[in-house]
Amino acid sequence: MANILSFFFIFFSLCLQGSSTTTFTFQNKCASTVWPGTIAGAGTSQLSTTGFELQSGSSMSLTAPTEWHGGFWGRTFCANDTITGKFTCATGDCASGNISCDGAGGIPPASLIEIKLNGFQGTDFFDISLVDGFNLPVSITPTGVSSCVSSSCAFDINSICPEILKVKDGNGKVVACMSGCLKFNTDKMCCRGKYDSPQTCKPSSYAKMFKKACPQAYSYAYDDTTSTFTCTGANYVITFCP
């Protein structure tokens, strides 16, 4: 009897452990290498890695504990500086000097995936945010469940970015597109001060351009109704260049 009880104790312990984590699988469908960054929200622990290399066509998985919340983004055109040896990226750099971001977020503009696991009534909430700009097409897709939908920004906004918002590399190539808020930093553009409410904060012409290109993504601070998605009991695939 003791052996049977021990067996069931181990079995149910394993089941509980399995149900208390969520797996994020990152895949790179871009033509070049992407260096994903991860950051945990306040009050929750960082994942086992906060930054890694993801070559074109490859994938990698990380697990997150229950009630974890945080964000993911892709860094591009990264290398070790020939003089300082520090790791730097043309877009999404977290300024840690290493491939790991060590708790630092990506420097905008960068396409950002945000997620909160086991929120209200055990529901996961997730979105793609372009509020601070765009650098890569991205998507987040729930797996293991049939009733949830994915969120995607599959269009390359860099190809239609207005000149005033373009971020270029040393060769003049457009590598990212700033948002109006990031570029002009006004209360009206950034929904601050007297504009900090759904009634007073309205999308700028730049935000409308982002929204037309990627209807499921946040284009400004109060773009909630068409940009926040929910799911329960899922794992998630994060795809760069879906």
Q: What is the pTM of this model?
A: 0.90
Collapsed DSSP state (helix, strand, coil) of residue 135: coil
In the CATH scheme, what is the code of domain 24-178+207-240?
2.60.110.10
**Alpha carbon distance 77, 89 (integer Å):** 5
Question: pLDDT tens for residues 176-228?
Answer: 999 999 999 999 999 999 999 999 999 999 999 999 999 999 999 999 999 99
- Residue 11 pLDDT exceeds 90: no
The rounded distance, in Å, linking the Cα atoms of 80 and 86 is: 5
User: Could you state, in order of their start, the residue ranges of all structural domains in the chain?
Assistant: 24-178+207-240
Q: What is the pLDDT of residues 91-117, one digit of tens each?
A: 999 999 999 999 999 999 999 999 999
- 236 pLDDT band, cuts 50/70/90, is very high
pLDDT band of 239, cuts 50, 70, 90: very high
Banded model confidence at residue 7, pLDDT cuts 50, 70, 90? very low
Identify the pLDDT of residue 66.
87
Q: In angstroms, rounded to a whole number, what is the distance separating the alpha carbons of residues 242 and 19?
A: 28
pLDDT, one tens digit per residue, over 20-73 is 799 999 999 999 999 999 999 999 999 999 999 999 999 999 999 989 999 999
What is the structure's pLDDT at 64?
97
